[in-house]
Chain A
Amino acid sequence: DTEVTQTPKHLVMGMTNKKSLKCEQHMGHRAMYWYKQKAKKPPELMFVYSYEKLSINESVPSRFSPECPNSSLLNLHLHALQPEDSALYLCASGRGNTDTQYFGPGTRLTVL
């Protein structure tokens, strides 16, 4: 099973709202990732968790707050976002060690 699931599929939020994106994988992967993707662009890495610890933060603004409650789950907490944060947010998982990353379907986020 190479499935990574993400919820919700779509999210519309105001700039004062607090919301969370959720990601789950049951492949036993040790690394989980958050990416942001704008239209017609490649995914941009935001965060990497390895063994449930944050190992990479690509200078992401603090209005994005990741959390890894356990080895299968990854959350992205959103607060006080800006309209330019509207994008497709992708979760991925992998074994690390420059191995394949498997992506979820993404959450389409719109900030009003």
Chain B
Amino acid sequence: GENVGLHLPTLSVQEGDNSIINCAYSNSASDYFIWYKQESGKGPQFIIDIRSNMDKRQGQRVTVLLNKTVKHLSLQIAATQPGDSAVYFCAEGPPQDDYKLSFGAGTTVTVRA
């Protein structure tokens, strides 16, 4: 089946720097994408989402970029803080399936003080 994947399994970032987490997807018909943050011992927490009719969406300190031409999704975190240390998952919602999300493998972000 179609899978959502991540380019890097780990990312180490200096506190205060910007982080960029990347995700590639293969289903060109997918029309909905979500980023989740999962801290140790907790469930995934919704961060931000984007639909395929957009190429950029901003939240508080986070920006999601969608490049449909190359089927690439990224999450940018501005001024990374220690509390941003977590595993980040991208997820893809294919339009033909009303319920299923396909998750990427996840990127572990570690913030260095």
Residues of A within 8 A of B (CB): 2, 4, 6, 31, 33, 40-43, 45, 48, 50, 55-56, 88, 90, 94, 96-106, 108
Contacts and interface: CB of A to CB of B under 8 A. Distances in A.
A106 B44 CA distance: 9
Given A56-B99, A98-B95, A42 B43 contact: no
B82 to A, nearest CB: 21
9 contacts: A48-B100, A90-B43, A98-B94, A98-B99, A99-B93, A103-B44, A103-B46, A106-B42, A108-B41
A2 to B, nearest CB: 7
Query: Which 5 pairs between the two chains have the least Cβ-Cβ distance?
Result: A42-B103, A98-B93, A103-B43, A98-B32, A103-B44
Contacts of B103: 42-43
Interface string B80-113: 0000000101000111011111011110100000
Interface on chain A toward B: helix, strand, loop, or mixed SS? strand
Query: Chain B contact residues (Cβ within 8 angstroms of A): what range?
Result: 20 to 34
Contacts of B105: 41-42
A94 to B, nearest CB: 8
Contacts of B95: 98
Interface string B1-34: 0000000000000000000000000000001101
Contacts of A100: 34, 46, 49
Contacts of B106: 40-42
A96 B99 contact: yes
Contacts of A94: 99
Given A2-B46, A104-B43, 12 more contacts: A40-B108, A42-B103, A50-B98, A50-B99, A56-B100, A90-B43, A98-B97, A101-B101, A103-B43, A103-B46, A105-B43, A108-B41
